[in-house]
Amino acid sequence: MEQCTKCGAVLSPTDVFCGNCGTKRNQNVSEKEEQSIRQVIIFYLAYLVYAIVSYVIYLESDSLLTEIILESVFILLTLIFCFLDLKRIMKLYSLRFINWKNLAFSIVFPVFTAVIVYFGISWINMLLLEEDYNMFYDYMGYENSFLWAFIFVGVVAPVFEELAFRGYLFNQLMNVTTSRVTIIATALIFALVHFSFISILWIFPFGIVLGYLRYKYRTLWLGMIVHFIHNFLVLLLEYYYFSGETLLDMFS
Amino acid sequence: MDELIQTPAEATHCSLCSTPLAADQNFCVNCGYPEKGTESEKAKFHADRVQNQRKQQFAKKELKTGRIILLVIAGLSFLSGLFYFFAMDDSASLIASGILSIVYLALAYWSQQKPLIAMVLGLLVYLTTIVINGIVEPETIHRGIIMKVIIIAFLGKGINSALQLRKNK
């Protein structure tokens, strides 16, 4: 039974105002909504500033140390935001709603997305820019380039992007709007931070699926699995077309 | 005698919106009218109500301006894409601008049903556009700076108005 936040009088479900003290029922909700909207904007601005600073630093130095420092800052930034909502975020690491069906989907789905996105991007790049970009051009200067690419793209991105977007951001937006709108909004913001408007075409629908998994099964694990397999397969394809080596060649 | 009969009947309904009231309720649970309040409390309620209605109307106007701004940015974005395509044969810019225009148009349309989220996303998309353009062509950061500030201010006001409308719903 709901009570008035000011005087504690019992409210019936249809009451808009407290009959005893006249306080509006959703006053606290409005303040919470305002706070959540402020946090969403601050969260996004923080990542935007991080992206600008990273870009400027990369222009000066693209060493492995620079990359490690910048990735650490990204991790730290994500953790700081998540500490603001720690209780609700910890619940998202529950395995309670994971079953063989959603696990199977989370393993099979990214195989398709990785192949479609990888060859789709190559085709678009060739069509529009008449050259294809390979992410190993950025890593070729490092010793053990595949290992570092695996850590940054395969591990850090899925774990911390899911935590930031499907964890913190998702929770804040759920304070303000419906689950359907939250899934769409987080997918759009997730697509925006990749800083390529053309890539909205595939990152947005990918984000919708990740958001849906987070909402339906109340966990970040499935999103992390999908994100990890997708990024890892794209990485393998990139490495294969860059060096001509497969994963088996690397270990043999 | 007449008074004794009429008083309980009058007290059972709000004199402003006619919502039935329980005997122990001082305020109407539907509109918040201080049924058992003093004359000055009742006058203050009416004054606040008029002020709120004005605020609501003003918020609606600002929200409409925010929506128009989103449509204007959609148009400008598409025009800049066309310019790059015809002047520099840059089809990548045309496609990126086209996608951006569709996003702004969708947000402008969406702002009729979900004004708060649509305005927030509109602002975030616009800020991202400024940053991406600044990275690709650093000289564009200063170009049209007043226009950029005005657009950000209007989108910010749109967010504020959407919050205001929700608060007074």
The predicted complex's ipTM stands at 0.86
With contact defined as beta carbons under 8 Å apart, do A19 and A9 qualify?
Answer: yes
Q: How confident is the model at residue B102 (pLDDT cuts 50, 70, 90)?
A: very high
Q: Residues of A with CB below 8 A from B52's CB?
A: none
> Does any CB of chain B come closer than 8 Å to the CB of residue A147?
no
The nearest CA of chain B is from the CA of A57 a distance in Å of 13
Give pLDDT tens digits for B49-86.
899 889 889 989 999 999 999 999 999 999 999 998 99
- Indicate if the pLDDT at residue A229 is higher than 80: yes
Q: How confident is the model at residue B157 (pLDDT cuts 50, 70, 90)?
A: very high
Q: Residues of B with CB below 8 A from A26's CB?
A: 169
Residue with tokens 């946090």: A39
Please give the torsion angle defined by the CA atoms of residues A234, A237, A238 and A239, in that order, rounded to the nearest 10 degrees: 120
The predicted structure's pLDDT at residue A145: 87
With contact defined as beta carbons under 8 Å apart, do A85 and A172 qualify?
Answer: yes
Structural domain includes residue A11:
no
Give pLDDT tens digits for A170-184.
999 999 999 999 999
Residue A210 lies in domain: 36-251
Give pLDDT tens digits for A84-116.
999 999 999 999 899 999 999 999 999 999 999
Structural domain includes residue A23:
no
Q: Residues of B with CB below 8 A from A201's CB?
A: 99
Q: How confident is the model at residue A3 (pLDDT cuts 50, 70, 90)?
A: confident
Q: How confident is the model at residue A227 (pLDDT cuts 50, 70, 90)?
A: very high
CA–CA distances in Å: residue A28 to residues A4, A6, A92: 10, 10, 25
The predicted structure's pLDDT at residue A235: 92
Q: Residues of A with CB below 8 A from B29's CB?
A: 11-12, 14-19
Q: Residues of B with CB below 8 A from A192's CB?
A: 124-125, 128
- Indicate if the pLDDT at residue B11 is higher than 60: no
Structural domain includes residue A13:
no
Instruction: State the average pLDDT for chain B.
Output: 88
Q: How confident is the model at residue B8 (pLDDT cuts 50, 70, 90)?
A: very low
Structural domain includes residue A76:
yes
- Indicate if the pLDDT at residue A251 is higher than 60: yes
Check A176 against B117: CB less than 8 A apart: yes
Structural domain includes residue A2:
no
CA–CA distances in Å: residue A31 to residues A34, A38, A228, B56, B115: 5, 11, 37, 18, 17
The angle formed by the CA atoms of residues A187, A193 and A198, to the nearest 5 degrees, is: 80
Q: How confident is the model at residue A62 (pLDDT cuts 50, 70, 90)?
A: confident
Give the nearest partner residue to B95 out of A19, A195, A198, using CB atoms.
A198
User: A197, A198, A203: which to substitute to probe chain B, counting the most B Cβ within 10 Å?
Assistant: A197
Q: Which of residues 85-104 of B touch A (CB under 8 A)?
A: 91-92, 95-97, 99-100, 103
Check B132 against A181: CB less than 8 A apart: no
Amino acid sitting at position B75: G
> Does any CB of chain A come closer than 8 Å to the CB of residue B69?
no
- Indicate if the pLDDT at residue B1 is higher than 60: no
The predicted structure's pLDDT at residue B6: 47
CB atoms within 10 A of CB B136: 10
Q: How confident is the model at residue A214 (pLDDT cuts 50, 70, 90)?
A: very high
**Token pair for residue A33?**
């909504």
User: B13, B121, B132: which to substitute to probe chain A, counting the most A Cβ within 10 Å?
Assistant: B121
- Indicate if the pLDDT at residue A252 is higher than 70: no
The angle formed by the CA atoms of residues A85, A87 and A93, to the nearest 5 degrees, is: 105
The nearest CA of chain B is from the CA of A236 a distance in Å of 27
**Token pair for residue B48?**
């606040």
Tell me the mean pLDDT in the region A125-140: 80
The nearest CA of chain B is from the CA of A201 a distance in Å of 8
> Does any CB of chain B come closer than 8 Å to the CB of residue A58?
no
Structural domain includes residue A28:
no
Structural domain includes residue A141:
yes
CA–CA distances in Å: residue A96 to residues A89, A91, A219, B47: 15, 10, 8, 53
DSSP for residue A130: S
**Predicted TM-score (pTM) of this structure:** 0.85
Amino acid sitting at position A69: I
| Total of domains in chain A | 1
Q: Residues of B with CB below 8 A from A176's CB?
A: 116-117
> Does any CB of chain A come closer than 8 Å to the CB of residue B22?
yes
**Span of A34-43, A83-92, A162-171, B131-140 with lowest mean pLDDT:** B131-140
Structural domain includes residue A12:
no
CA–CA distances in Å: residue B66 to residues A178, B72, B108, B155, B161: 22, 10, 8, 5, 9
Q: Residues of A with CB below 8 A from B24's CB?
A: 19-20
The predicted structure's pLDDT at residue A180: 95
Instruction: State the average pLDDT for chain A.
Output: 90
Give pLDDT tens digits for A181-196.
999 999 999 999 988 8
**Span of A31-35, A129-133, A138-142 with lowest mean pLDDT:** A129-133
Check A16 against B30: CB less than 8 A apart: yes
Give the nearest partner residue to B121 out of A24, A26, A188, using CB atoms.
A188
Tell me the mean pLDDT in the region A194-219: 93
CA–CA distances in Å: residue A54 to residues A68, A74, A134, A160: 12, 10, 20, 17
Of residues A16 and B116, which shows the higher confidence score?
B116
Q: Residues of B with CB below 8 A from A33's CB?
A: 116, 163, 166
Which residues, 6 or more positions from B61, have their beta carbon under 8 angstroms from its beta carbon? none
Of residues B125 and A250, which shows the higher confidence score?
B125
CA distance A15 to B103: 39
Check A195 against B125: CB less than 8 A apart: no
With contact defined as beta carbons under 8 Å apart, do A107 and A225 qualify?
Answer: yes
CA distance B59 to B163: 9
